[in-house]
Structure 1
Amino acid sequence: MTGVPAGAGGKTGDEIGEGAGRAEVKTPERIARNAAAADAIAARAAIARKATSRRLYLSSISLYLSLDLS
Structure 2
Amino acid sequence: MNFEKESILYGLLYDCPFGQELPGCPFHEIRQLPFEKRYDLAQEMSEQEIDNWLAQHRKCLKSR
The verdict on a shared fold, with TM-score over 0.5 as the criterion, is no
Q: Calculate the TM-score normalised by the size of structure 1.
A: 0.27
Q: Calculate the TM-score normalised by the size of structure 2.
A: 0.29
Give the number of the structure whose alpha-carbon radius of gyration is greater: 1
